[in-house]
Structure 1
């Protein structure tokens, strides 16, 4: 049934707020949006069926901003289901695929915290770990009788990437969330969800190294050494050793550090070709992503990473960042591979990356010049299902 859900309301332009328009959506009255809340990897977000949203993607923004709670630039997201952080302000839109050989299509949306922003320029690997479990529980894919493990194919519409996802199934044909797999940043164990990215290079830019260089200097006055690489998501990996002393000696969430890292990210966005200039790069907050890397003790892992997202310190590491960094560590002449080769373990397929919450491992199939696939393990759990009242 078609229902008018939002009346035309003008919001103060000085607050950079959106101007509402009258929208007609196919929602159950009284203006309810069916959704599921899931913890997927180290993220939490809303999972929705594609047919629960307007046909035209440009009409999604007011609905999703309302559901997450960012209307009126609310940093606390009190009127929504977000958690006041970038890692809990995410949406996964799921549908059956019409593409031959693909089971499910996944569209990722990053929503702003304290900003009325909807960004679809990149993807989220953590949210991806909930796609298969959601699809199974919602009847979008069907196991065979007695099947206890299931592998499905997923098409990431943001990055035009094919993914295989493997997860456990209960004897009742539903997702089995319980298990003994721990991932850093999540206190409760769960069943393993294996994610395999196939041919992940050039996911957004169609090039492995969009700037044409495997290493380069950003911010000439500071000589920041970095690798700009596009595997699963475009990332800027900055060599911690090249940062100014004032930045290296400060806490990673210090405001001066956040501002400096964002300056580097914007410069990298221009080099990536994702923004025409620094001013336009400031308007694209989610892509490219940026992380600072440095050597780590052999007994702990292979490399240490501090990640940033939407201008803030990331509490752990994006799953796409795990895949991208692991790939960069296997490719010749990159900043990550230089740090990794200090350990003389460059031919190992298994790579352990250490972030602020602990270690995460990835399996990389590739050589010094190309990447065939990257695999990682996550867990996921359905937390809530119901309606958001718009």
Structure 2
């Protein structure tokens, strides 16, 4: 027996996954066969099951067997002032069943929440665009998502009726073929998600010891997500390597994972074995007009380099590039990085990566980094019912 769960599958930025209404998951009957007893929140368990967590190819679900495609979001109307909807991001594990509760938000997937909320009637659309205010239940970050919406031609060609989400457009993003309608995402309240400030160790850079006996200089930065930044040189890289090359370099992946774990201890995160947070990225001088270049690891323990760049990571890299003394700021070019308190205003940072480059606007107020915005495209791929096994 199985229970039908309505879903909508989105390609959102450079990620992909189903979005569910919370009430749809709550309607799944409680199982009597023990499937739910795995130390995972019930709704997250259901979402992980439906994407096919626990198999390297995700063959038994909607996922794709990669970090970027084993994602889902649970959405509900919000009762909190200043928010239209609440969302819970679920990062399902791949080789073993479960959910990585350390992950935090997904800056790519959150872009699809706007379109989903409009289509499900949680937010009334307007013309020519609709603002959807989102509260993350993972981190408390507030997102404002600007979705292009338009009326449809009626009798005689007159445009009217209830506006609908516009998916087509001329916007291009690196790592995705074709074009789409621009979705503008603005994030606020994501500085210091660990509660230890943007620099959780209290330093712009630190040294971590690795098993070879040498020390590696890192910057631990927490803006949108906790990250460990290291110069490509210190990992024996040029910064021009492809995903295929780096995924095959198990020695590099082991070293990156060792650096990540040691840095996490300095950040007060404890033993992060089996967790994907904090993330780690190596940086080098920007290419093709970019301010900085990166190779971002979604999970070095799984030998997985991101083929492009997570947008939470792009925000963190952008912030780090503006803070004097970090590994990123010393490598970045064309940015005001002469102070621990960046000049007030909007600072655009361009980050190059294996698929091209991504842009993020970092906002500073009263000498503090307080917000970020970026542009994504989303595409509705499919919708219907996914079937949750009851026995």
Normalising by the smaller structure, the TM-score range is: 0.7 to 0.9
Is 1:185 aligned to residue 165 of structure 2? no
Is 1:310 aligned to residue 288 of structure 2? no
- Cα distance in 2 for partners of 1:106, 1:189 equals 26
Selected match of 2:259 from 239, 261, 264 = 264
Q: Which residue of 1 aligns with 2:49?
A: 66
Pairwise mapping of residues 101-116 of structure 1 onto structure 2 (< 5 A)? 101-116=82-97
Selected match of 2:21 from 40, 43, 49 = 49
Using the size of structure 2 for normalisation, the TM-score is 0.84
Contact 2:140/2:190 (8 A) holds in 1: no
Shift, 1:236, TM fit = 1.0
Shift, 1:368, TM fit = 10
Tell me the SS of whatever aligns to 1:75.
coil
Q: Cα deviation per residue 1:119-153 (whole Å; 9 max; x = unaligned)?
A: 23211000011010110111110024xx2111121
Q: Which residue of 2 aligns with 1:324?
A: 316
- Cα distance in 1 for partners of 2:365, 2:323 equals 7
- Cα distance in 2 for partners of 1:249, 1:306 equals 8
Selected match of 1:242 from 230, 234, 248 = 234
Q: Which residue of 1 aligns with 2:157?
A: none
Contact 2:10/2:379 (8 A) holds in 1: yes
Is 1:124 aligned to residue 106 of structure 2? yes
Is 1:354 aligned to residue 343 of structure 2? no
Shift, 1:229, TM fit = 0.9
Q: Which residue of 1 aligns with 2:201?
A: 211
Tell me the SS of whatever aligns to 2:49.
helix
Contact 1:330/1:367 (8 A) holds in 2: no
- Cα distance in 2 for partners of 1:127, 1:373 equals 18
Gaps of 5+ in 2: 28-35, 152-161, 338-342
Q: Which residue of 2 aligns with 1:20?
A: none
Tell me the SS of whatever aligns to 1:115.
coil
Contact 1:205/1:230 (8 A) holds in 2: no
- Cα distance in 1 for partners of 2:252, 2:101 equals 26
Distance 1:249 1:142, change over 3 A: closer
Gaps of 5+ in 1: 6-29
Tell me the SS of whatever aligns to 1:188.
coil
- Cα distance in 2 for partners of 1:340, 1:125 equals 22
Q: Which residue of 2 aligns with 1:282?
A: 273
Q: Which residue of 1 aligns with 2:154?
A: none
Distance 1:62 1:351, change over 3 A: closer
- Cα distance in 2 for partners of 1:367, 1:101 equals 21
Is 1:165 aligned to residue 145 of structure 2? yes
Distance 1:41 1:245, change over 3 A: closer
Distance 1:214 1:47, change over 3 A: same
- Cα distance in 1 for partners of 2:208, 2:239 equals 15
Shift, 1:159, TM fit = 0.9
Contact 1:224/1:239 (8 A) holds in 2: no
Q: Which residue of 1 aligns with 2:281?
A: 291
Shift, 1:222, TM fit = 2.9
Distance 1:387 1:344, change over 3 A: closer
- Cα distance in 2 for partners of 1:204, 1:138 equals 33
Q: Which residue of 2 aligns with 1:149?
A: 129
Distance 1:81 1:344, change over 3 A: closer
Tell me the SS of whatever aligns to 2:193.
coil
- Give the paired residue count: 351
- Cα distance in 1 for partners of 2:99, 2:61 equals 15
